Amino acid sequence: MSRWAHYMTVPQVALGFGNSDTAERMFQRALELRPDGIDVNYYYAAFLKEEGNTQAAREHAQRAVNGTARENRQVSDEALRRDAELYSASSNVASILSMTMTRG
C-alpha cells in the first residue's frame, strides 16, 4: 500500500500526522514523481475533499480517471479509477470518496 493510501485509511486526524500542510507537501511530492498516477490523484482528491476544496478534488478525481495504472498494481489502480469515475460524475461531491475510503 502506498504511503498516502495508508494515511487515508487511518482516522482523519492522523492524515499527515495531523498536519494538513505536511500532507499537502507529501501529495505535491508524489504528484511531481507520478503526475498521471491513478492512486496519487485519487488519494489527493480524497484529501482535497476532506479539506473542503471540492473543485480541486473533482479535478484530481478526473485525473485519476484519465491516469495511468502502475504495471504491478493494475487491479488496485483500476478499482480506484472506477471509484474516481463515480466521484467525478456524481453531483453528491461530499459522499462518494468518503464512502469508498471507509469500505476498504
22 CB-near residues (< 8 Å, 6+ apart): 16
This prediction has a pTM of 0.74
For range 50-55, the mean pLDDT: 91
Is the CB of residue 9 less than 8 Å from the CB of residue 104?
yes
| Percent of the chain surpassing pLDDT 70 | 69
| Confidence band, pLDDT 50/70/90 cuts, at residue 17 | low
**Helices 96-103 and 38-50: crossing angle, nearest 10°?**
120
Three-state secondary structure call for residue 33: helix
Q: State the cell numbers at 98.
A: 468518503
Q: State the cell numbers at 33.
A: 514523481
Q: State the cell numbers at 20.
A: 494538513
The answer, yes or no, to whether residue 29 has pLDDT greater than 80, is yes
Q: Identify the pLDDT of residue 28.
A: 95
Q: CA-CA distances (angstroms) from residue 57 to 72, 75, 88?
A: 26, 23, 9
Question: Residues 49, 53, 54, CA angle at the centre, nearest 5°?
Answer: 65
Q: Identify the pLDDT of residue 38.
A: 96
| Percent of the chain surpassing pLDDT 90 | 58
Q: Identify the pLDDT of residue 1.
A: 44
